[in-house]
Structure 1
Amino acid sequence: MNKLHCFKESGNSYKVALALSLAGMEWQKVDVDYFGGETRSAAWRAAVNEQGEVPVLEIDSRKMTQSGAILMYLSEQVPQFALNKEERDEVLRWVLFDNHKFTANLASYRWLRTFASPTPEEAILAFLRGRTEGALAILEKHLEHQSFVVGRRLTVADLSLAGYVFYPEDELGFDFTQDYPSIAAWMSRIAANVGWLPPYELLK
């Protein structure tokens, strides 16, 4: 049985869980007490992931880390996510953009806005919101004339970029339907796939 070390508030965990669910693969959730400091403990890092992060996917006797790397691995193992050389290069380009610009800013903004205690200064939130809006604008423009991020079908590039957008609006602080209609339409296309569930249901 494949095991996914994760916690439900982690959008990076959701990316991998969603890929496994859409692929119809069997997997077991291993709850990680992130808020209790489990990932910061020397014991957890020695046994699970020295980098102190989730998700960690145990598959084929391996412990795989970093959501982008896991998704690229699954694109090589799961027929429905298979890529040709040209597609792979473009998918990797968007996965790297996601890790560096899109998820990096959206996740940080959501985390500080919703979960941080004490709440950070408004200037910090304003800075991160501006960075997030810039990344959202790039994806919005890209999706104005195509259904998915790369080509005409769902790829792991979509799953990478979708890691945080399905969390509740009151957590994210963004109304995609009103302000980013192309992203909202793309989200609906992803949600129409068999096996899709929102994060708090898939990782409950």
Structure 2
Amino acid sequence: LNCVANGVIQNEGIFEEIYIQPAAGDAGGAVGAALAAHYLYFEKQRLPQKPDSMKGAYLGPEFHEFEIQQQLKKFKPVYEKLEGKALYAKVADWLADGNVVGWFQGRMEFGPRALGNRSILGDPRNPDMQNKLNLKIKYRESFRPFAPSVLAEDAHEYFEVKSDSPYMLLVQEVRKSHRKELPKNYHKLPLREKLAFERSEFPAITHIDFSARI
């Protein structure tokens, strides 16, 4: 899960392709144990499947409409049911107005990354969004940035990407065309002072070194 190291390995070009298992932490230990038994104990032939034999990280539980309706009846929140384009337009308006949206759909992600099925959404262009999410929702240090969610076919327009990153496990730089001009002595400033600057058009997801976790 060391996204910086993963990005460096990719940029070095020592491998044609790299694959990083999306739950490469404690949660993924069970997968490693199962694979070890499969190959070592049962002596099965190892046949890697490209590009990704997991075919996504959405391996957790999902909740159907009936189950959701039961919970709504139980807790009686104020709600409105929207679908399709009406839902997307409403959420886009909320985000553009500086609101935070909890996005819940389909099966839960396997691993530590929120990959669109259990995600907290905010507008990365909003200079206040990073602080808002950290202090009011995540309850962590205000300087910690968030990861951008971007279509694979559009990623190269915003970031110095060299391949797809479906599991949010690579750090790459924001393109210079989207960075903001900073003082010439920026790199010599103390960390606290660096944090005060908007470094790109997307301040909520840009690290102090102009990188982002893709």
Q: Does TM, normalized by the shorter one, top 0.5?
A: no
TM-score by length of 2: 0.25
Larger radius of gyration: 2
TM-score by length of 1: 0.26
More helix by share: 1
The structure showing larger relative contact order (alpha-carbon pairs under 8 Å, at least 6 residues apart) is 1
